[in-house]
């Protein structure tokens, strides 16, 4: 938890996440000329997330892979700091506005900069700049702390049969799957996140 607040949000994690999204839409995205599409936000594991990959805090899925036809955003349960989560959510909401079409490329960057995500050295690490961070802290202070305690998975027992890594060169999403499934994939298989064909790179080598 952060030290900005003395109370915790009286509701579920998903209600808090969606309330933050609503506030960001009104205070930030609309002001920058963007309208958030319908989104569903959950506290859940991002596909391919592992304890060693601590930078994976959220993930946005394109509308094309959702049978509901909406963007779905997952915020991992390994973090609990309210401001950090709201910052991560702002990043994922940019993906939703873009419908994951640009990965972390120019289209994504343009939206990020317009809403105050400065990008640090790479856009895939885009975080709130000073102005947006001030707005996020105000939102969190008004709502209350994120009603969640972080989960520590660093001591989990490792799998005896390691899955293989697959990465999309277009959107930079990473997921892990079995050798058997990889054998069924081919050079033109679409990415499960951005739907771009022919961009999957498969891990090679023996375990």
User: How high is the pLDDT of residue 173?
Assistant: 82
User: How high is the pLDDT of residue 53?
Assistant: 55
Note whether 114 and 189 are same-domain residues: no
Q: Is residue 148 a part of any domain in this protein?
A: no
> Which residue stretches of the chain have pLDDT < 50?
5, 49-52, 207
**What Å distances lie between residue 143 and 7, 19, 80, 93, 123, CA to CA?**
9, 8, 15, 19, 28
Q: Is residue 159 a part of any domain in this protein?
A: no
Taking the chain, what is the end-to-end CA distance rounded to the nearest angstrom? 39
Asked if residue 108 lies in contact with residue 96, where contact means CB atoms within 8 angstroms, the answer is no
Which tens digit of pLDDT belongs to each residue from 16-72?
A: 999 999 999 999 999 999 999 999 999 998 775 433 456 789 999 999 999 999 999
Note whether 72 and 172 are same-domain residues: no
Neighbours of 106 (CB within 10 A): 10
Domain that holds residue 139: 13-143
Tell me what percent of the residues of the chain surpass a pLDDT of 90.
57
User: How high is the pLDDT of residue 204?
Assistant: 66
User: How high is the pLDDT of residue 121?
Assistant: 63
Q: Is residue 48 a part of any domain in this protein?
A: yes
Q: Looking at the 3D structure of the chain, how many domains does it have?
A: 2
Q: Is residue 8 a part of any domain in this protein?
A: no
């Amino acid at each position: 938890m952060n030290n900005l607040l003395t109370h915790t949000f009286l509701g579920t994690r998903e209600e808090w996440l969606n309330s933050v999204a609503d506030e960001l839409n009104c205070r930030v995205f609309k002001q920058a000329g963007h309208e958030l599409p319908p989104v569903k936000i959950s506290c859940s594991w991002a596909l391919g997330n592992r304890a060693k990959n601590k930078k994976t805090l959220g993930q946005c899925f394109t509308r094309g892979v959702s049978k509901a036809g909406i963007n779905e955003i997952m915020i991992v349960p390994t973090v609990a700091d309210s401001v950090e989560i709201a910052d991560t959510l702002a990043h994922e909401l940019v993906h939703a506005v873009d419908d994951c079409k640009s990965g972390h490329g120019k289209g994504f960057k343009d939206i990020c900069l317009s809403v105050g995500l400065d990008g640090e050295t790479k856009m895939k690490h885009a975080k709130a700049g000073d102005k947006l961070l001030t707005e996020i802290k105000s939102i969190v202070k008004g709502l209350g702390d994120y009603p969640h305690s972080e989960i520590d998975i660093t001591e989990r027992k490792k799998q005896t049969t390691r899955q293989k890594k697959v990465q999309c060169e277009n959107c930079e999403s990473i997921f892990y799957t079995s050798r058997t499934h990889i054998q069924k994939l081919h050079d033109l298989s679409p990415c499960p996140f951005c739907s771009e064909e022919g961009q999957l790179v498969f891990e090679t080598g023996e375990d």
